[in-house]
Amino acid sequence: MFKPFPILIMLFSIIAIHGMLYAQNMRIEAPPGYNIIYMENNLPKNIEGSPFLDDWQLSDILLKNGDVISGIMLRYNVLTDQMLFQSNNNAYVIGAPENILEIKLPNRIFAYKYFLKSRKIEKGFFEIILSGKVGLAIKYQSKVISSNYNVALGVGNKNDTLINQEKLYLDKEGQIIQLNKEKVLFEVLNDKYKEVSDFIEKENLSYKSKEDMIKLLTFYNQ
């Protein structure tokens, strides 16, 4: 759950105010919605699993103004779509992620992007898998699997289970497009329709496979 934190706070790393990012030991007034301290997993009782993609990792944040914040402990909450940073044994939500160019974790790169969801413009964190003329990104989403406990037989799991899923997206000139149909793939790569079609058939590729799409887009971008 989220718990209130005093409006005036001492942060070790970063927090946003009036569209700017401040760093290193500054006492500031947090903007509405960001004066919170993150304490728990935000999971209701009787649900197993973790909303976090990874454990805390030493990471770097690259800001759009060119500044770099190095050596900060971060982890991503899939359930709430928030990047958290750690300071003095507390976890804080990073404010104004729109000012961040990219976040470099040891084995992942994240960026904050606008995308279309149910005909509405949304924004959130994406893992950047491949860059190029057409890139590949992953949007992580949490899903609850209902309990399969059988009362009569006394078998199964009594608790619901939280799992984190991957949704593939194409990034064409900054436009983020969900890759949920093969038709979408050919629409985005239509300038090389025949080459792409032949390559997919030759390599037996599926638009549902991350590895296959890395192979296809590497071919397309060359």
How many CA atoms are closer than 13 Å to the CA of 18, on its beta-carbon side?
Answer: 2
Least confident of 41-45, 53-57, 115-119, 216-220: 41-45
pLDDT tens digits along 183-213: 999 999 999 999 999 999 999 999 999 999 9
Which pLDDT belongs to residue 160? 83
What are φ and ψ of residue 106, in 5° steps?
-55, -40
Whether residues 113 and 220 share a domain: the answer is: no
Query: Would the pLDDT of 42 be above 50?
Result: yes
Clarify whether residues 174 and 103 are in a common domain.
yes
Helix (H) or strand (E) holding 216: helix 210-221
Rounded distance, CA 42 to CA 172, Å? 34
Same domain, 99 and 125: yes
Q: Which residue has the higher pLDDT, 107 or 118?
A: 107
Whether residue 170 is found in the same domain as residue 192: no
For residues 112 and 210, membership in a common domain is answered with no
Residue after which a domain boundary falls, among 143, 162, 178: 178
- pLDDT score recorded for residue 91: 84
Domain that includes residue 164, residue range: 2-178
State how many domains the chain has.
2
* Contact status, residue 101 vs residue 62, Cβ threshold 8 Å: yes
Same domain? 171 vs 183:
no
DSSP 8-state code for residue 13: S
Same domain, yes or no: 173 and 210: no
Please give the residue that has the higher pLDDT: either 8 or 85.
85
Q: Quick one: pLDDT band at residue 158, thresholds 50, 70, 90?
A: confident
Question: What is residue 220's predicted lDDT score, i.e. its pLDDT?
Answer: 97
Residues 159 and 204 in one domain: no
Q: What is the pLDDT of residue 44?
A: 63
Q: How confident is the model at residue 43 (pLDDT cuts 50, 70, 90)?
A: low
The reply to whether 204 and 129 lie within a common domain is: no
Distance CA 123, CA 117 (A): 9
- 188 in the same domain as 132: no
Statement to judge: residues 39 and 113 lie in one domain: yes
Residue 153 DSSP SS3:
coil
- Summary mean pLDDT of the chain: 81
Cα distances (angstroms) measured from residue 143 to each of 22, 47, 107, 140, 207: 35, 11, 24, 10, 22
Same domain, 117 and 49: yes
How does pLDDT run across 63-110, given as a tens digit for each residue? 999 999 999 999 999 999 999 988 888 888 888 899 999 999 999 999
